[in-house]
């Protein structure tokens, strides 16, 4: 049972004077201990120092035990930290996707979802492209906006390995959405790929200018305009 030990450590490290401001900034119904990100990493390193995982099922059970029973937001951050621990690297397979789907759906906010999308779902997509491609296409049409956002953002770090056909296909169901978090995700994903091929993104934005939101277009072209300014 990792959570009681973790909670005690976070309580000791917390700063109540910061907690309310952190909760307000994140618009979180769940309170904070008031632990900064660098200090949280140190607490997690110490709390999880002796953890060993007997199997993928044991690894998932430990993560979900913390996540499902968390009472403070940093405790869920710690669950995500444990999910990314190198001791669980061999468990980052298709069998982990169901767990990550639960974290995405129940977390339902960008501070959880964006890291899962780019650092957890993305690598699994890279290792298992065919089944994960199908999965992301399904998620792109989900009624859950966070699964849609994940499908759009999962290739953020892929650079020249980006599957453009998949990216555009995942954007398509949300291209006319009024939802801020989908519009922002579309612009962000396009902006990231613009570092690799700015001409392609300029072309895509031009061809879809009447369907993309102003926010998506502005975000997509931001790095391109920055590069032009430097030149």
Tell me, yes or no, whether 167 and 118 share the same domain.
yes
Residue 148 burial (10 A CB sphere; 0-12, 13-18, 19+): buried
The reply to whether 97 and 83 lie within a common domain is: no
Give the model confidence (pLDDT) of 88-138 as tens digits.
999 999 999 999 999 999 999 999 999 999 999 999 999 999 999 999 999
pLDDT band at residue 225, thresholds of 50, 70 and 90?
low
The reply to whether 38 and 78 lie within a common domain is yes
User: Which of 188, 197, 194 is closest to 219 using CA atoms?
Assistant: 188
Asked if residue 211 and residue 166 are part of one domain, the reply reads yes
Percent of the chain at pLDDT > 70 equals: 97
Q: Are residues 146 and 211 in the same domain?
A: yes
CATH number of domain containing 24: 1.25.10.90
Q: What is the DSSP letter of 131?
A: H
Domain final residue, candidates 46, 62, 91: 91
Tell me, yes or no, whether 85 and 111 share the same domain. Answer: no
Shared domain check, 166 and 131: yes
The pTM for the full model equals 0.94
Question: Is the domain of 118 the same as that of 68?
Answer: no
Q: Same domain for 119 and 19? A: no
- The percent helix, strand, coil of the chain (3-state, each to 5) is 75, 0, 25
**How confident is residue 223, by pLDDT bands cut at 50, 70 and 90?**
confident
For residues 7 and 43, membership in a common domain is answered with yes
Query: Which range marks the domain in which residue 22 is found?
Result: 1-91
Q: In Å, how far are 9, 27, 72, 83, 196 from 192, measured between CA atoms?
A: 37, 27, 32, 25, 8
What's the CA gap between 43 and 52, in Å, rounded? Answer: 17
Number of domains in the chain: 2
Torsion sign over Cα 36, 42, 43, 48: positive
In this structure, the answer to whether residues 106 and 218 fall within a common structural domain is yes
Mean pLDDT throughout 53-64?
A: 97
If pLDDT is split at 50, 70 and 90, which confidence band does 231 have? very low
Handedness of CA 82, 87, 89, 94 (dihedral sign): negative
């Amino acid at each position: 049972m990792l959570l009681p030990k973790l909670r005690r450590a976070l309580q000791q490290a917390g700063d109540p004077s910061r907690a309310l401001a952190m909760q307000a900034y994140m618009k979180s119904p769940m309170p904070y201990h008031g632990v900064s990100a660098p200090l949280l990493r140190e607490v997690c390193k110490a709390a999880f120092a002796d953890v060993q995982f007997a199997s993928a099922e044991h690894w998932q059970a430990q993560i979900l035990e913390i996540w499902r029973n968390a009472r403070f937001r940093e405790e869920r951050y710690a669950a995500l930290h444990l999910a990314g621990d190198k001791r669980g690297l061999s468990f980052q397979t298709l069998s982990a996707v169901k767990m990550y789907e639960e974290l995405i759906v129940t977390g339902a906010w960008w501070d959880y979802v964006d890291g899962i999308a780019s650092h957890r779902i993305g690598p699994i997509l890279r290792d298992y492209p065919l089944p994960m491609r199908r999965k992301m296409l399904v998620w792109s049409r989900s009624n859950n906006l966070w699964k849609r956002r994940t499908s759009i953002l999962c290739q953020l770090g892929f650079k020249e390995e980006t599957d453009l056909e998949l990216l555009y296909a995942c954007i398509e169901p949300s291209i006319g959405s009024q939802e801020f978090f989908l519009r922002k995700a579309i612009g962000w994903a396009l902006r990231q790929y613009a570092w690799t091929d700015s001409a392609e993104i300029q072309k895509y934005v031009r061809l879809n200018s009447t369907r993309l939101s102003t926010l998506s277009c502005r975000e997509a072209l931001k790095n391109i305009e920055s590069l032009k300014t430097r030149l």
